[in-house]
Amino acid sequence: MTEIQIAAVGDLMVKRYIISDAKQSDGTYSFTPLFAKVTPYLRQADLTIGNLETTFPGNGRECRKSLRSGGPTFKCPDELAPALKEAGFDVLVTANNHCMDYGASGLIRTLRVLDRSGIDHTGTSRSVQESKRTLIKNVSGITIGILSYTAGTNRIPVPIQQPWLVNRIETNKILREIRDLKKKVDLVLLYMHFGKEYQYTPNKRQKQLASLFLKNGANIVLGSHPHVLQPISVQGKKKFVSYSLGNFVSTKLKNNPFTQSGIILTLTIKKDNNGNTSITDINYIPTCVDRRIIKGGKQISEVIPIHDTLKNTDLITERRNRLNRMLKHTIDILKWP
C-alpha cells in the first residue's frame, strides 16, 4: 500500500503592490517572505500545485503588452519562479485568461523561466510536439496525470497558426484526452480555469463540465478564476471537485476582502496492494494575504495560515477580527467538513 498527499492552491496573482513590497534596495526582488509562513505546509505535501496567473515576459524588446486585452495585464519579475520552487511548488498550471497578456513571446518565455527553476507546467505550450505531451507525475509509485484548460484569454486572440499555445476548454477534445490518459495513470487531475468572477457558487456550466469529466474518467477537478472560494463536492472515494480554490496571492479586488482569501487544499491518496486508488482524506488550511508595515517602515505582503496566526496572543483586535471574519467566510463557503 502507498499513501501520498497532494496540496493545491488557487490563483497566484502577484500584482503591482506585492511586487513593490518584494523589491530590494539593490533593485532585485525577493519573494521568499511572501511565502515564508505557508512554506512548511506546501513542502510537506508530496505534490504541490497552483495556478500561475501572471507571466514572465522579461524586459526585452519582446516584452510587449497585448493591446487587445479585455482586462488588466499581468507580468512579474523572474525572481518569483525560484521563490515558488523554494516554497514547495512542484507543478504550476498556466492555462488561464492572463497567459496571453504579453503575447506568444511572453507565454513562451514564461515556460522557459519555469523550466530554469525546475517547476513542471501544463496548460500552455511552445510547440505542437510539447502540446501533445501530457504531464504525468510519478509520486512514490502513484502516477498522476495533470491536465489544464482555460475558458478564455481575455479576448486576446491566440494566433491562428499557433492554436497549440493555449489549452482551451473544448469538451470533446478534453474527453478524448481524459480517456487516453486514464489508460496510463492511477489518477487523473484536471485544473480548470472557469466560472464567473466574484461569484461564491459555481454556475451551471461549471457543474455540467465537472460532472461530465468525472463521469468520463477524471478523479479530481480543481477550479480557479472566480477569485473567491466556491464549495467542495465529494462523490465517494474516487471523485472530488473544488469549483474554485480562491486567490492564494492577490491584492484586494473590487474592494472585496475575500478576494485575498484562499486555502491550501490537501488530498490524501491511497493505492492498495491490488492497484486500486482512492481519496481517503480531504482537508484544508485557510489562508489570506496580509499586507502590513514592519520595523523600519517597510511594507510587506505575506500569505498567512489563519489558524496559526490567530494563536498569536499579541494580535491587535482589528487584525484578529479580520482574520476571524476570513475564517468564518471560508468555512461557510466550503461547507466542509
Distance in angstroms (rounded) separating the CA atoms of residues 213 and 59: 40
C-alpha cell at 223: 477550479
- Mean pLDDT for the chain? 95
Closest Cα partner for 252 from 7, 49, 13?
13
pLDDT of 296 strictly over 80: no
pLDDT at position 62: 65
Neighbours of 251 (CB within 10 A): 16
Q: Map out the domains of the chain with their CATH numbers.
A: 2-334 (3.60.21.10)
Helix (H) or strand (E) holding 12: strand 2-12
In this predicted model, what pLDDT tens digit does every residue of 207-242 receive, in sequence order?
A: 999 999 999 999 999 999 999 999 999 988 889 999
Answer for the pair 53, 98: CB distance below 8 angstroms, yes or no.
Answer: yes
| Parallel, antiparallel or unpaired: strands 299-305 and 277-293 | antiparallel
Q: pLDDT tens across 21-57, in order?
A: 999 999 999 999 999 999 999 999 999 999 999 999 9
